[in-house]
Structure 1
């Protein structure tokens, strides 16, 4: 039987036209830009008497400037108007720009081409907020991570193909710009056709009054974003990724030549490895997170970025570039080349793990009426960080550092920034620990978890087999769960950090601590009133025999106070694990198995009027069956 995955989206009209429109736009951007830069660098194209290096650096600034000037307006337009119609207007603008660029290429006029580059920057600034804010309108929440992964994969592959195609077209037709002009216009026309197939995406704030003061609007929306700590820090995390990536990608040509001793072929290989790595990481996000937005992958990604960035420094230190520049074939026969290639590929892959969940988190946790503007503000922050990356790189290199040392400094900075962000938002690191625990110790099979409501308050009840029960449930459920648990389990080192960050509620029996029990029930009522998911283990303690203990009446008290639906769950296969009490105290014996198969099964929703402790115990026992 076919299992749904992100590639199914490519068969859907809800997603495929958007994907193709974005892919063609990114491809055309880079085809045009790289063709122009190759002409400047190798064919002597110039204007105003500027030399090639100056003109190339000026081109980078010309392209990024529109993101500062027009992103705030773009975000507002994407809220006020149908995004599909807006996409068509933006693609029509692209055709006009490419027609003008065709004139610039034909007459080898650098001034016209620089003007077109600025206009393409406007095009990209306008389309950026739209492409990310439209995804939650087209996709279900369970598809959001996979959709973002495909968009990121497609973007990086399109950038790579556009750069390569632009270079090859100039090399093969140095005396004729007509093929480049035809290609750019044709791709823009294809983009218009695919945009016309995009389904309607109604405005989320149609009465919004456009604020043309881009500085004031940008500051206002960033202030709004700061009110949501997770969203704002996700924006900062994405911007940091572009800072990190800008340093590495900007230095790759010089790194390939001066450090690796390679020619343009070797540089193309390096940029290909990084782009393919990001694409792989972006696509793997859905597989690794079980089709939900798993922010635990973010720390995982940041760790990989730093580890492989540091290793790249030591791998490159073993090389000594000398003699004539070598091509790919000779480079592959150089000692240490495979290690360097692996570092570049894996840095890209972990970059995908880092950035895709952050984009999905912003989309999911931002109010629809502000989503496009938040993404626009994020694009402005990204641009700011990229400019700072360029300035910092220049300063460090002028102070005497070489390219590998610059890259090492940035990899170490990444570790410092990661620690800072995860201290500000411990939820990121908490989810990372949950993800590591549930993906390295167990292989979890999920059955009927769709019975857990997508929104609104509910209570989950589950059998209690081990100290890992709560982590397994937290790793499997799309929604955050507020666990009610024995105060002794709540205090277990490491687990205490996870439970505290997740808003768990410690509880004791009325005989042991009546005040703690009363506070726990008050907190549960508060969570349910806020529409959250609460989970309790009605047995009150971890089983010592593998058999279920009687369910206590606490669940009846909770539902009597706040009538909400109850979803019964059953854990299978955890009895006998290192964290269970089989053959002695938990975690006090040698583990006997790793990555073992377990299962989490959900039953039918029980309406509040039918909730009894005994009835729920029978349901959970039947769900569990004989597999303890």
Structure 2
């Protein structure tokens, strides 16, 4: 059972210490780490793309034909993720992360020195070995990267921090591939310049790693299991222990499946469908990378600096809509002998293709960032890196399945636009299945739409809503959607104790059942249901979760605050957790509140769209001091606190 001392905030500065996610770059806890991961991703792709160009255009290797080069290089790079992610997750939990980061950067310098020699003498087997080693380098860094962030960023910074990392990764991929292509193309000296570039970037990354702050081990007593197969299975079981986290891992892996389809098809799509040259294929990569980056950065703005998983369904919808529209935009293009970049951009018919590609990747960024933040926030700190390692394993497996699936579709006679259509439709099915399995995504999406598109919702005092530990939230009851509005204010799921009659209302009743709200009937009406409700409420607190109730016992009929009943005291007798008073402002008089003879939901848009609605949270009241009268007094004071900024 949680105690008041268990209600703690995540580490990091005050929520409003910096204005936006870009300000994190100027802080030591984030800036050096960001540039370390940026340079690492860039170097991976500088090396791989230069090598791909070398064996595709410049060398004739009988046992590695150009058509197979990209596939072999990609498979060698992914293989370590499958083999060693489980071990790397253990290492990231057992050892300080700044130590591991510096070790990985030292390893990168050694690998790039060997690769540099391979480029100079054009030794393909050595370069293939270095591809595998760089995959191992990335495998070791992956769990460290995502487990580092929640150690140094608080809940309000996680979405922005993950957005910056995702944006930086895709920009680095783009810049690395451009640099690799340009350097290897230098006549006579391309290999030498690539070698210098790879080693220089690795050394710069190591210099940045020296500034990464101390990041203590989360499980220093962990005994390493060096068997990758048993440990992989153990990690997957560990992740499966938290259903929301595990389904989020699957959701992220699906995004990599989805993205891998498009990334793998860009060269053939540019040549065979868009009738463009190599520069057009590069343009597709640029558009895709920029779209992902913008989507990742938008997450902080859209989420109002919280971990807002309501963005995930929004991202999934956009991914499907624009993947399907890409099929229609691409299938009717007139044949051509081959467009240069300028000629391709000059064709208005191609603008829709570019817009679809940019928007589907933008929504993919919106889809993935909240999932990463949710995994970091909800995973047990001592096991966080191992759970992220499990995610890397799943990502690799999904990307392999993606390649096999695309190959099967093409072999069956599907055109490239038809492959995009199939993936867009499949994305809708998979996303819908995930959201039904984990209703929290769907509920938070509804709350997101309600508080962003119907009301102009502002929250004050949200620092009083605990990010960890059990607590009871008490609030005035103004409308039939009070619970949905409260969901939008909390980064954590809330279980509601609600009047059983509200479950009979169409749609709303289904939503509350989906959200596992606890129905309660008056004791005189149904004593068994009354007692059962309190048993379930106590179980919520036993799990360390948030329980919300409306102590007035019913929705106000005149807008005034009623007397608080004693149900909260019945819970506090056995579970003395903190009680957080909250007040909903300006919902009275809206479509969902009782008005005009006690009826509700009779005049749509009664107050128009974007009418202001507020929620104010106050400091927690210790269980020993709580009483219905005191809690009502605190809620009344919050109600009279005036409108938000």
TM-score of the aligned structures, taking structure 2 as reference length? 0.93
> Which deviates further from its counterpart, 248-257 or 262-271?
262-271
Higher relative contact order (CA 8 A, sep 6+): 2
Note the C-alpha offset of 1:244.
1.1
1:9 and 1:497 map into 2 onto residues whose CA distance is: 41
Identify the residue that residue 260 of structure 2 maps to in structure 1: 246
**Structure 2 CA distance, aligned partners of 1:366 and 1:456?**
14
SS in 2 for 1:336: helix
2:586 maps to 1:573: yes
- 1:531 is aligned to 544
**Once superposed, which parts of structure 1, at least 4 consecutive aligned residues long, lie more than 6 Å away?**
none
Deviations 1:311-348 (Å, cap 9, x if unpaired)? 0000112312322x213322222132222111111111
Q: Deviations over 1:373-410 (max 9, x none)?
A: 22222212211111111111111111111111111111
Query: Where does residue 366 of structure 2 map in the other structure?
Result: 353
Aligned to 2:26: 11
Return the alpha-carbon distance in structure 1 between the equivalents of residues 98 and 17 of structure 2. 31
Distance of 1:121 and 1:32 partners within structure 2: 11
Contact 1:64 1:121 in 2 (8 A): yes
Instruction: Give the 3 Å change call, closer, same or farther, for CA 626–428 of structure 1 in structure 2.
Output: closer
Q: Deviations over 1:233-272 (max 9, x none)?
A: 2221111111111111100111112111222222222111
Q: How does 1:46-65 map to 2 (within 5 A)?
A: 46-65=60-79
Q: 1:274 touches 1:345 (CA, 8 Å); kept in 2?
A: yes
Q: Unpaired runs of 5+ in structure 2?
A: 1-15
Give the direction of change, closer, same or farther, for the CA distance of 1:98–1:3 in structure 2 (3 Å limit). closer
- Find 1:277's aligned residue among 282, 288, 291: 291
Q: Helix, strand or coil for the counterpart of 1:567?
A: strand
1:573: Cα distance to partner? 1.3
1:299 counterpart residue number: 313
Note the C-alpha offset of 1:84: 0.9
Residue 202 (structure 1) shift = 1.9
Instruction: State the 1:96 CA deviation.
Output: 1.0
In the alignment, what sits opposite 1:457? 470
Question: Which segments of 5 or more consecutive residues in structure 1 lack a partner in the other structure?
Answer: none
Q: What do residues 191-226 of structure 1 show as CA deviations (whole Å, max 9, x unaligned)?
A: 101111111222222222222221121122212222
* Other structure's SS at 2:122 match: coil
- How big is the alpha-carbon RMSD for the aligned residues of Structure 1 and Structure 2? 2.0
Instruction: Give the distance between the partners of 1:396 and 1:573, measured in 2 at CA.
Output: 54
Match of 1:23 among 38, 49, 54: 38
Instruction: Give the aligned partner of residue 428 of structure 1.
Output: 441
Cα contact 1:573–1:627 (8 A) shared by 2? no
Give the conservation status (yes or no) of the 8 Å contact 1:153–1:280. yes
Pair 359,604 (structure 1): closer, same or farther in 2 beyond 3 Å: closer
Post-superposition Cα deviations, 1:30-58, rounded to whole Å, max 9, x if no partner, equal 01111111122222x24454322123322
5 Å matches for 1:552-571?
552-571=565-584
Aligned pairs for 1:468-617 (under 5 A) are 468-583=481-596, 585-592=599-606, 593-617=608-632
SS of aligned partner of 2:495: strand
- 1:359-384 deviation line (CA, Å, top 9, x unaligned): 22222222222222222222122111
Change (3 A) 1:255 1:174: farther
Counterpart position of 1:411: 424
Q: Does 1:618 align with 2:633?
A: yes
Q: SS of the residue aligned with 2:185?
A: helix
| 1:319 equivalent in structure 2 | 333
Q: Which residue number corresponds to residue 373 of structure 1? A: 386
Q: Tell me if structure 1 keeps the 8 A contact 2:440–2:493.
A: no
How far the C-alpha of 1:426 sits from its partner, in A, is 2.3
**Aligned counterpart for 1:125 among listed residues 134, 139, 146:** 139
In structure 1, what is the Cα distance between the partners aligned to 2:340 and 2:532? 70
In 2, Cα distance between the equivalents of 1:236 and 1:531?
A: 25
Contact 1:576 1:582 in 2 (8 A): yes
Deviation, structure 1 residue 495: 2.4
Task: Identify which range, 463-472 or 110-119, moves more after superposition.
Answer: 110-119
Q: Could you tell me which residue of structure 1 aligns to residue 7 of structure 2?
A: none
CA distance in 1, matches of 2:126, 2:119: 9
Provide the secondary structure at the position in 2 that maps to 1:197: coil
